[in-house]
Amino acid sequence: MSPPYIFQIDEIAEHPEAFSDTDGHGNWKPSTDRNSNYTLGGGGVTGKQWFCNTQRIFEIPQRPANAQPYKTFSVYYVGGVGFYVLKGDARSPPDDDVFHKLQFNYYNNHDFSSYLTDAGQYHTLRLQPQDQRWAHMLLPNIYHSDQTAPSQQYGGIIGELPIFLALMAFTTSRNYLPSVLPHTFTGGAWVQSHQWQMQSRFTFFLPYKQCR
């Protein structure tokens, strides 16, 4: 079980006048140029503080003074392409990194789980879980494996917690996220039964910060 932690979700979009970058197929990709991304206003969860006490998630009025920054990730979802991930805050991007497509590492040979990361070796899940609700709720088909896990004990999803939180956030709309977020983790477990689905939000952007 992970220790208690605090996290913040800020919603960001790319400036219309920002330099438009594309991949090798001509598809848009998020920029890491200075001042290319800005904070979205008008609703949503930007600036709110959330506390996971190992049993549930709930909003808190402010971050405790003794909370220490842990990790920040920025995530875009591009319809038809998938997720782009930056280790850092795209509003103040690192000088030595850019957005990478969501990837996976296969570290665990006991349960054959897939490790979420911005810098992995693989582009799909290692095994498709027998209970496929997780995979279908969190990830588009391009990330699914053609190999099914032999039992429910195999084929889990682990990895960078901020990336996992981003995938959970993308299962609902910006307007619903503040009310949905507390229901994604209850009784000490992540909930995989809610029915909201990811929408193609081309410039909807979520950097994630944890403090603990």
pTM for this model (two decimals):
0.89
Average pLDDT of the chain, as a whole number: 85
Q: Name the residue among 65, 57, 116, 119 with its Cα closest to residue 87.
A: 119
pLDDT of residue 194: 54
Span 108-119, pLDDT tens digits = 888 899 999 999
Tokens of 44: 């949503």
Domain ranges of the chain: 5-211
Q: Name the residue among 164, 145, 151, 163 with its Cα closest to residue 106.
A: 145
Looking up tokens 């299962």 gives 171
Q: Is a pLDDT exceeding 70 seen at residue 190? A: yes
